[in-house]
Amino acid sequence: MTPHRLSPADARRVAVRAQLLDGSRPAELLDLVRRLTLLQIDPTAAVAPNADLVAWSRLGSSYSRAELVAALEDRKLIELRAFVRPGEDLALYRAEMALRPSGGRSWREWVRANDACRRDILDRLGSAGPLPSRDLPDTCEVPWKSTGWTNNRNVTQLLECMVILGEVAVAGRRGNDRLWDLAERVYPDEPAVPVEEARRRRDERRLRALGIARARTTQFPVEPADVGEAGEPAVVEGVKGEWRVDPSLLDGPFTGRAALLSPFDRLVHDRKRAVELFGFDYQLEMYKPVAKRRWGYFALPILYGDRLVGKLDATADRKAGVLRVDAIHQDVPFTDDMAAEIDREIEDLARWLRLSR
């Protein structure tokens, strides 16, 4: 097939339209998640938790976190490995969970070494679940070794492994604590899609959500940023290499708007893609020393039309009841119209957070 030839503006508009960040705002949370395929869960709430901030960026201040809580309680949405996904999408993961491949020095060997603890967790959840992890005793014989924050967090790490194996699932939350239960009591009782078919369909859905992506690119934990052979080939003027594009997003007029994005937003999550398509240089700086930050602890990328034009350094000071705006970094000079529309989004953010600016 002859590749589609796209201008940089064409490519950006496909990406913005796919992420539901153009002028046609979606109206309903479930439809939003089905289209985006996921909301990433992250506890950082310098402004708001990521899942809520992503939903607000699309739905506006009419969105309430209670909607997300209710959808999770009703199992219309499911939490899987720190992502909220449509309940019906679990069928695309169940066959892979059931494979239980063996061999090699990996976390699977560690799970096998702690099989007694694993079986004890299954017994306790079966009789008394859902339970928080702190109610599950640590009887691991071999501790989990890590150079990161998971070191010696044996039960938590074992539960994460058991999620991958399809044995346990997050059944809900009590505050910030996850409640664990047997997967069979949480996941929809639908036939698993065969592995290869499921991978193909996940690639197609991911491309639909991204609009334009590489067939192969940098690998990310849990959720890939590439799409295999989904869609159709495309080249972008001035950008090396071939892309895959969802052709249904190529036609039609484009109406843009201003939007404030989470640092974890899928429009900017793949930093290499953000540079290639948008010329947007960005890093999340919360882990950097203050003196080395260019934009701020949790700076929000600013979208205007089909361009990423700056970063908003803001913090929700809930104790003081204010949204503090420390800086608006302009990657390009704002026109009066741009500044006014971006300012309205900041006011809407404060209103949604029930804070004064």
Cα torsion 272, 274, 277, 280 to 10°: value is -110
Residue with tokens 């339209």: 17
Neighbours of 36 (CB within 10 A): 26
Instruction: With 0.95 as the threshold, say if the pTM is over it.
Output: no
Provide the residue-wise pLDDT of the chain in tens; the chain has 357 residues.
899 999 999 999 999 999 999 999 999 999 999 999 999 999 899 999 999 999 999 999 999 999 999 999 999 999 999 999 999 999 999 999 887 655 445 788 899 999 999 999 999 999 998 999 999 999 999 998 876 666 668 999 999 999 999 999 999 988 888 999 999 999 998 899 999 999 999 999 999 999 999 999 988 889 999 999 999 999 999 999 999 999 999 988 999 999 999 999 999 999 999 999 999 999 999 999 999 999 999 999 999 999 999 999 999 999 999 999 999 999 999 999 999 999 999 999 999 999 999
Give the DSSP H/E element, type plus range, for residue 109: helix 107-113
From CA 166, how far away is CA 260, in angstroms rounded?
A: 36
- pLDDT of amino acid 129: 87
Domains of the chain (ranges; CATH) run 92-185 (1.10.10), 257-353 (no CATH)
In three-state secondary structure terms, 138 is coil
Distance of CA 322 to the CA centre of its chain: 27
In three-state secondary structure terms, 14 is helix
- pLDDT of amino acid 103: 45
The single-letter DSSP state of residue 356 is: B
Phi, psi of 80 (to 5 degrees): -135, 110
Question: Is residue 308 within 8 Å of 274, Cβ to Cβ?
Answer: yes
Instruction: Considering only CA atoms, give the Rg of the chain.
Output: 22
From CA 168, how far away is CA 186, in angstroms rounded?
A: 8
The single-letter DSSP state of residue 281 is: -
From CA 74, how far away is CA 52, in angstroms rounded?
A: 18
Q: Please write the tens of the pLDDT for every residue from 81-138.
A: 999 999 999 999 999 988 765 544 578 889 999 999 999 999 999 999 899 999 999 9
Q: Write the burial class of residue 340 (CB in 10 Å: 0-12 exposed, 13-18 middle, 19+ buried).
A: exposed
Altogether, the residues listed in the chain come to a count of: 357
- pLDDT of amino acid 101: 54
